[in-house]
Chain A
Amino acid sequence: MKNKLFEKYFVFSPYFWLVLFFFIPLAIIFKISVSVSEWGMPPYQDIFLFDNGFEINTTFENYIYIFSDYYYIGSFVNSLILALISTFCCLLIGFPLAFYIATSNIRLRNILLVLVVIPFWSSFLLRVYAWKIILQNNGILNVILLNLGITSEPLQLLYNQYAVIMGIVYTYLPLMILPLYGYLNKFDLNLIEASKDLGLNRIKTFFKVILPLSVPGIVAGSLLVFIPVVGEFIIPEMLGGSDRLYYGKILWEEFFVNRNWPGASALAFSGIIILVLPIVIFQILYSRWSQKNEI
């Protein structure tokens, strides 16, 4: 029948594209990560050898190499800590903003929402570059600090981990605000009134009513910030110094500088397993749990 053919066309065109250009590349990363490295081009041996009969030529040495060297583990831990701190800062700034936007009247709400998200549309790279200008030794922030008499000489604000956190919080903030707003927007403002009528003060209302109801938004926003930040390369490269190495940087260098393809692939594949897989599983479990509890 014609409908069936039509449906097949719709399902299989993108299916074909994604298997070819997304799934196979991931499989190739895995393949190279278990290949034996050697000098040459490409810098690894084939995993199937047909010299005398058939032989499978794989190794886990690349993984052992990574996981036994503090250089790699330490960088990954640095990235996780960086992502945790940045996510928390985004939440701290994003939550009150999202809450107050969601509780504004409808006209103002839409305008504010657009205003908050619009910077996200302007170039990522250039927004990071803007912080490079602001944090210069003779940049605007130092000028203000000097004129207020807070410091007597310019502070070195750039090229350290704090500048990196600043850049990340700035660029990823809209990703936190949007899902938070999405959930806060849905909930009934009368609940806050009700809890006040029942005698709860502001702080208790926040912790007993507002916060529990916005957990799904907090989870969604935090995931959207946390995962890309762990793999972030540009921001530490532009604003960071040599005080800390991060996962993105060592992956980049392992491939482009050390030309260790199997090592870089093992790093990438470990990243997928440690970072992406738990989150995919978590999301499935979480959606089941929230369906059961009707949140």
Chain B
Amino acid sequence: MKSSLIKSIVIFLGLFFLYFPILVLIFYSFNENKRVMVWKGFSLRWYNELFSNEQIIEAFIISIKIAALSATFATILGVMIGYSLVRIRKIPFKSFYIFLSSTPLVLPELILGLSMLLFFISLNNVIGFPSSRGQLTIFISHVTFCIAFVAIIIQARLTDFNKNIEEAAMDLGYNYTKVLYKITLPIILPSIIAGWLLAFTISLDDLVVASFTTGPGANTLPIVVFSKVRLGLSPEVNALSAILMFALIIIGLFYFYFNKKFKH
């Protein structure tokens, strides 16, 4: 039929557009030649060079560390916000609370990064801490803008789950705390994991805010990669891309698995 043909073509072209650049990147990562664009033959040379590049390996470890820590903190705080907004009636200055927890989603990263940097400098002038910027300041900034993403996922999950289950447990003699730990949290656990994965990826991927709040000894992976490819191409970055894309896409699939679970 005519319309189903159009439909197939549109979907095919759309997916081609989305995946073609990723495939090109992976293809060129196997190029033997030092000049990225001139194909010389298949080789794993740049993967070898990548794993012996201490700067990249070190940056990778720093990035993973910051991402895991900030995702964990952001998840704890984000779950609290999501829970408060849906289940707790009395929040002082509620619209201010909503403003604080949702604006980081729409604020351009550049403005957020600048505000964090100026904040840390001012704080240092007043109380002498943090004396220099580094992993700690990146961590604080990442927690701050990841909270909102987790909060939105938890809020959506809590809004459509049946409150009767919680009330039934209360009637059966569970107290407030026990309901939360034995009923509510286990039910929304998949969404909490999904929120953590999202926060982890956002932190791992962030360049702009990290560039503002970084300091000596805190070059994250995106900062190092950006410095390598800002002006040209780098065969090592091609190899890194292929690995990273693969890993992140797997994290993404896990996210879908966990975030979808609650719909049944």
Q: Which of B15, B122, B144, B244 contacts A115 (CB 8 A)?
A: B15
- Contact A275 B140, CB 8 Å, known A6-B177, A123-B244, A126-B244: no
| A2 to B175 Cα, complex, angstroms | 10
Residue B132 interfacial (CB < 8 Å): no
Q: Are B108's CB and A133's CB within 8 A?
A: no
Q: Are A230's CB and B108's CB within 8 A?
A: yes
Residues of B close to A248: CB separation below 8 A: 108, 110
Q: Are A29's CB and B107's CB within 8 A?
A: no
B131 → A minimal CB distance (Å):
15
- Contact A265 B114, CB 8 Å, known A10-B80, A123-B205: yes
Interface segment, one of A16-24, A56-64, A145-153, A211-219: A16-24
The bracket for how many chain A residues form the interface is 35 or more
| A122 to B23 Cα, complex, angstroms | 12
Residues of A close to B99: CB separation below 8 A: 280
| A237 to B97 Cα, complex, angstroms | 35
Q: Are B111's CB and A173's CB within 8 A?
A: no
Chain A: which residue is nearest B151 at the CB level?
A14
Q: Are A25's CB and B176's CB within 8 A?
A: no
| A280 to B106 Cα, complex, angstroms | 9
Q: Are A233's CB and B208's CB within 8 A?
A: yes
B78 → A minimal CB distance (Å):
7
Residues of A close to B1: CB separation below 8 A: none
A264 → B minimal CB distance (Å):
6
* Chain B interface mostly: helix
B113-138 CB mask vs A (1 if < 8 Å, else 0) is: 01110110110010000000000000
Q: Are A2's CB and B177's CB within 8 A?
A: yes
Q: Are B110's CB and A252's CB within 8 A?
A: yes
Interface segment, one of A66-74, A93-101, A286-294: A93-101
The bracket for how many chain B residues form the interface is 35 or more
Most buried by A among B14, B81, B180, B205: B14
* Chain A interface mostly: helix
Q: Which of B104, B106, B151, B225 contacts A126 (CB 8 A)?
A: B225
A63 → B minimal CB distance (Å):
16
Q: Which residues 226-260 of B have a CB within 8 angstroms of A?
A: 226, 229-230, 233, 237-238, 240-241, 244-245, 248-249, 251-253, 255-256, 260
Residue B18 interfacial (CB < 8 Å): yes
Q: Are B22's CB and A130's CB within 8 A?
A: yes
User: Can you list 15 A-B pairs, Cβ within 8 angstroms, ordered by A?
Assistant: A11-B80, A18-B101, A18-B144, A21-B119, A21-B141, A96-B14, A121-B249, A126-B225, A126-B241, A126-B244, A130-B24, A248-B110, A251-B111, A251-B114, A268-B114
Residues of A within 8 A of B (CB): 2-3, 6-7, 10-11, 13-15, 17-19, 21-26, 28-29, 32, 42, 93, 96-97, 100-101, 103-104, 110, 112, 114-127, 129-134, 136, 138-140, 170, 173-174, 223, 227-228, 230-234, 237-238, 248, 251-252, 255, 261, 264-265, 268, 271-272, 275-276, 279-280
Residues of B within 8 A of A (CB): 7, 10-11, 14-15, 17-22, 24-25, 28, 36-38, 77-78, 80-81, 83-84, 88, 90-92, 97, 99-101, 103-104, 106-111, 114-116, 118-119, 121-122, 125, 140-141, 143-144, 147, 151, 175-177, 180, 201, 204-205, 207-208, 222, 225-226, 229-230, 233, 237-238, 240-241, 244-245, 248-249, 251-253, 255-256, 260
